[in-house]
Structure 1
Amino acid sequence: MNIPEIKAIALKYQLGIFPQRMGQHFLVDGGVLARIAEALGPTAEDTVLEIGPGLGALTEQLIFRAGRLIAVEKDRKFLEVLTDRFKTVDHLQLVRSDILKVDWAALAGGREKSLLVAGNIPYALTSPIIEALVTHRQWIRRAVLTIQKEVADRIVAAPGRRAYSSLSVLTRVGFVPKIAFRIHAGAFYPRPRVVSAVLKLDALAQPAVPPELEEPVLRLTRHLFTHRRKTLLNGLTGFNQLAREELLKRLHAAGISPTVRAETLDLGMLTRLAASLT
């Protein structure tokens, strides 16, 4: 799909304020779209869930690779375009819904680790969508998402790096994150002001955090990263209504120095600390 085709569709379907409808930037580079589909790696045996297909540029690449394609689109006008463009494709299911509200179990047909997820994600929705993927990870085998490179760097950052954040920790609860490749601004219409990247998330074979500790770990992580430059002891003051002396005992029990900073703790250390503080 090229820029003249997008403009023609916008005119035909009266898409309103365009091209930046809903803050989206549409991929128009066929080579990049093919690389995204290849990174996802669907076969005729797989079910692919596409998040926000928009005008269907990535959909075109996924249709002939996947055995079944479920495209979840919130925008009524985009859904109208998709319905007309792909009306002869029997293995495509169009779902009008917000991806943050869908029934993942139903879309997966109750089969764990059965979904491959792809999407060119509106940058403002990256964090909520990552959180949704982690929450519903039992149904997901792999996800490949186009997002802002700065956010991708945060997600894959290692402990101790400036970009390391609570989003880095959250993602690793369910997935192994990796940047597959960068995308130049000219691959989009309209041209974004930021650099983009394709993020690949492979589901963990085994849980990284015991189920009973997942909520405490995430709550602790969110708390600590609001005080990321403070020492642990200072950052934890008042956490779970524990006195400073008690916090020192709990940190010692977890084998973690009270003088280190949150930004140096990996998921394993955060899990031990959450267990000690619970």
Structure 2
Amino acid sequence: MQYKTKAEKSLGQNFLQDENIIRKIVQLANIKKHDIVVEIGPGLGALTRYLLSSSDNVSVVEFDTSVIDILVANCQKYGIPRIYNQDFLKFDMSSLESTSNKKIKLIGNLPYNISSPILFKVIKDSEKIVDAHFMLQKEVVERIVSLPNSKSYGRLSVILQYHFNCSMILKIPPEVFYPQPKVDSAILRLKPKDNKLLLKNYNFFEKIVKQSFAQRRKTLHNNLKCILKERKIDHNTLRIDTNLRAENLSVGDFVSLANFLS
């Protein structure tokens, strides 16, 4: 593999270089020959090469223009992916949907500094994807898969678990990257839910979740005071104990709360 002399810190770049880990990731993602695969942030193509060996339809979205030539050179032996040299946050995934309406498999070693915006974009595009396999900071993955009544359970957990079945499927040490990050990583699997709980107003649900976790140590009664007042609702009429904290509520509880208030 060819390397640039320096990974871009501002882009959160840490290049994956352990072949065994890369093979394992592709295996866990269960990439098939006719799958439509989109890799986010391929960097130098370490993972891309294995994706090209597994699927006939691989596209990559890479923001950093300076790595494109190296990416192409490293992949040449395996085939050249369709390359989109742009910011994934502005990428239109509907341009990749085939005439057979096949959905997309997303994969990528996400830049640590913009992982949350990418995840929220994936939520918006969830109807277009089969599944997603992302490498993230282990701490972030732990937060996403956390269950109620734990300190790591929060807004990200609730919002992502509303849309997806979320699981941590592989832990990855810093030594497999160049340069080595200061934190452990993990692979997050997101599989869109077939039967999501019915919401009257999704945007209001997001607002309720965000406000409920605004100050973690405060009760729902305190965090939602403004919303309740605005809607002229007495907290005693709610079907949920407002003396609880947000971390005590399940995704279903938040859906019920949002539906009741809206």
Report the TM-score range of the alignment, normalised by the length of the smaller protein: over 0.9
Match of residue 242 from structure 1: 230
Match of residue 272 from structure 1: 256
Query: How far 1:106 moved relative to its partner?
Result: 1.4
Does 2:174 correspond to 1:182? Answer: no
Query: How far 1:228 moved relative to its partner?
Result: 2.4
Q: How does 1:59-138 map to 2 (within 5 A)?
A: 59-87=48-76, 92-109=81-98, 114-138=103-127
Cα distance in 2, alignment partners of residues 132 and 208 from structure 1: 20
Match of residue 14 from structure 1: none
Asked if 2 retains the 8 angstrom alpha-carbon contact of 1:34 and 1:61, the reply is: yes
Match of residue 192 from structure 1: 181
Cα distance in 1, alignment partners of residues 241 and 100 from structure 2: 43
Of 202, 205, 209, the match for 2:194: 205
Q: How does 1:29-68 map to 2 (within 5 A)?
A: 29-68=18-57
Match of residue 160 from structure 2: 171
Cα distance in 1, alignment partners of residues 149 and 159 from structure 2: 16
Asked if 2 retains the 8 angstrom alpha-carbon contact of 1:114 and 1:141, the reply is: yes
Cα distance in 2, alignment partners of residues 245 and 70 from structure 1: 50
Query: How far 1:19 moved relative to its partner?
Result: 3.1
Match of residue 161 from structure 1: 150
Query: How many pairs does the alignment contain?
Result: 261
Match of residue 228 from structure 1: 216
Secondary structure of 2:89's match? coil
Cα distance in 2, alignment partners of residues 68 and 243 from structure 1: 50
Which blocks of at least 5 consecutive residues in structure 2 are unaligned?
Answer: none
- Structure 1 stretches (4+) deviating beyond 6 angstroms? none
Q: Deviation string for 1:32-59 (max 9, x for gaps)? A: 0111111111101201000010000000
Asked if 2 retains the 8 angstrom alpha-carbon contact of 1:147 and 1:197, the reply is: yes
Does 2:207 correspond to 1:219? Answer: yes
Q: Deviation string for 1:7-48 (max 9, x for gaps)? A: xxx25xxxxxx1345221111110001111111111012010
Asked if 1 retains the 8 angstrom alpha-carbon contact of 2:161 and 2:251, the reply is: yes
CA RMSD, Structure 1 to Structure 2 (Å): 1.9
Q: Deviation string for 1:101-120 (max 9, x for gaps)? A: 11111122376661111000
Secondary structure of 1:42's match? coil
Letter in 1 for 2:252: G
Cα distance in 2, alignment partners of residues 69 and 170 from structure 1: 29
Task: Please say which of residues 239-248 and 261-270 is displaced more in the overlay.
Answer: 239-248
Secondary structure of 2:84's match? strand
Structure 1 residues 139 and 243 mapped into 2: Cα distance closer, same or farther (>3 Å)?
Answer: closer
Match of residue 244 from structure 2: 260
Query: How far 1:241 moved relative to its partner?
Result: 4.0
Cα distance in 2, alignment partners of residues 67 and 91 from structure 1: 10
Task: Please say which of residues 235-244 and 93-102 is displaced more in the overlay.
Answer: 235-244
Query: How far 1:173 moved relative to its partner?
Result: 2.3
Secondary structure of 2:234's match? helix
Query: How far 1:200 moved relative to its partner?
Result: 0.9
Q: Deviation string for 1:241-265 (max 9, x for gaps)? A: 437762332x1xxx21121111111
Secondary structure of 2:90's match? coil
The percentage of aligned residue pairs carrying the same residue is 31
Give the TM-score normalised by structure 1.
Answer: 0.88
Give the TM-score normalised by structure 2.
Answer: 0.93
Structure 1 residues 265 and 60 mapped into 2: Cα distance closer, same or farther (>3 Å)?
Answer: same
Structure 1 residues 270 and 73 mapped into 2: Cα distance closer, same or farther (>3 Å)?
Answer: same
Asked if 1 retains the 8 angstrom alpha-carbon contact of 2:39 and 2:48, the reply is: yes
Letter in 2 for 1:156: V
Structure 1 residues 260 and 108 mapped into 2: Cα distance closer, same or farther (>3 Å)?
Answer: same
Which blocks of at least 5 consecutive residues in structure 1 are unaligned?
Answer: 12-17
Match of residue 145 from structure 1: 134
Letter in 2 for 1:226: A
